[in-house]
Amino acid sequence: MTDLCIALIGCGRISGHHAQSIQQTPGIRLAAVCDIEKSRADEYASAHDVPAFDNYHLMLKQLDKIDLVSINTPSGMHHEHALDIIELYGKHVVVEKPTFMRPSHLDAAQMAAESAGVRIFPVFQNRYNKAVDRVRTALRQGELGKIRTVSVRLRWCRPQRYYDLAPWRGTFSHDGGALTNQTVHHVDLLRHLGGKVSRVNATMRTLGAEIEVEDTTVATIEYESGAIGTLESTTAARPDDFEASISFVCSEGLAQIGGIAVNELQIFTPDPVACTGYSEDFVGIEGHGAVYGYGHSAMYADIVGALSSDDPYPVDHEDCRDTLRLLHAFYRSDEAGDWVEVDDDAESFRLGRADDAVSKIYRTPA
C-alpha cells in the first residue's frame, strides 16, 4: 500500500506533536508544512526533511500528491481553512480541537466534504487514553453501576502573558475562553463517558486576565439518565496548573481520571489495582508537550484505516456535533442566565462570532 501523504498547516506547538505522531504511524507520511510565518514552517521542515510553505494554496497547487491536510491554525480559522482545502482542492482534513467554533460551521464543512467526496477527521485524542477507555468500558458494561453524579474540575493557570502571545487568543471569535480552549476535552468526556446531557446551567466570569472571554465557569448538569453533575473550569488559578479531572460516583463504585491530560486512573473502586495498569506517564514524552499524550498516533492509525480499508473512524459527524452543541449550551446558559436544553440547535451569540479584522491576520490569499 502506498503511504498517505499529509501536510500540516499552522506550525505552532501542537503541530510538532502531530508531526511526531505521523512519523510513528505506518501507512502515512508527512509531505509538507505550512505557516504564514515562514520561519516556523522552516523549523519543522528542517526537522522532518519536508518542504516548507507560507501559503497553503501554493503548497496544494505544487504538491498534488497530498491526500489530506491537518489544520492546526487558530481555532476561529478552522472553518475557513477547511472549506478552502475541501472545496478548492478536494483533500481530506484533520481538524484540531475544538474542531469548529460553531455547530453550524461543522455542518457547512460536512456538506462541502460530502459534495467533494472527502472526509473530516475531528481530533479527540484523549478518548484513546487507557484510563478513559477503562472507565468507558466499566460504565458501558455495568461494572460501576448507574451513574449518580459526575464532576469535572480543571484548575489551571494562564496569566496575561499567555493571552498576549497572539491576537486571536482570548477572543470569542477565534479562541473562546477556558471552557473552549483548555476544557473542551473534558466537555467531550462528559458525554463520551457519561452519556447524553439534557440541560445545563452555567455562570461564567473573567477573573484572572484582561480578555473578552471567560476564564472561569461553574455549571450544573442534568443527564437524560437522571444523573446530575458539576463542572468547574478555570485558568485563573495561580501560580500553576493544579488539577484536571473527571469523576463518576456510581451505584457500584467510584472512578476518577486525572493527571496532565486525563491520563491517570486515580480511583477505581471495583479494581484498585487497575489504577496502575491503566495510567500512562505523559511527562516523559519527548518534544512538544506531554499535555497532548499518545492519542494522536492512535488517531492517525484510525485515519489510515478509514481511508485505506474503509474502517469506521470512531468520531462521526453527529458525535462531534453533539460535543459542540454541549459546548455552546454552556455559553447560551450564561447568556440567558438560566437553564438551557442541549438539544436546542440555537448557538451562542458570542462563541465563534465573526471578526474579520482578526481573520485577515491569518487569512492566506489564493
- First and final CA of the chain: distance in angstroms? 33
* Type of residue at 93: V
Q: What is the pLDDT of residues 129-177, one digit of tens each?
A: 999 999 999 999 999 999 999 999 999 999 999 999 999 999 999 999 9
pLDDT by residue (tens digit) across 191-211?
999 999 999 999 999 999 999
Which of 44, 67, 330 minimizes the C-alpha distance to 184? 330
**Are 241 and 157 in contact, with CB atoms under 8 Å apart?**
yes
Domain with CATH 3.30.360.10 in the chain: 127-280+316-341
pTM of the predicted protein model: 0.97
CATH code reported for the domain at 127-280+316-341: 3.30.360.10
pLDDT digits (tens, 9 = 90+) for 206-251: 999 999 999 999 999 999 999 999 999 999 999 999 999 999 999 9
The CATH class that applies to domain 4-123 reads alpha beta
Over its C-alpha atoms, the chain yields an Rg (Å, rounded) of: 20
Q: Which residues pair with 258 in a beta bridge?
A: 264
In the chain, residues under CATH classification 3.40.50.720 are: 4-123
| One-letter amino acid for residue 198 of the chain | S
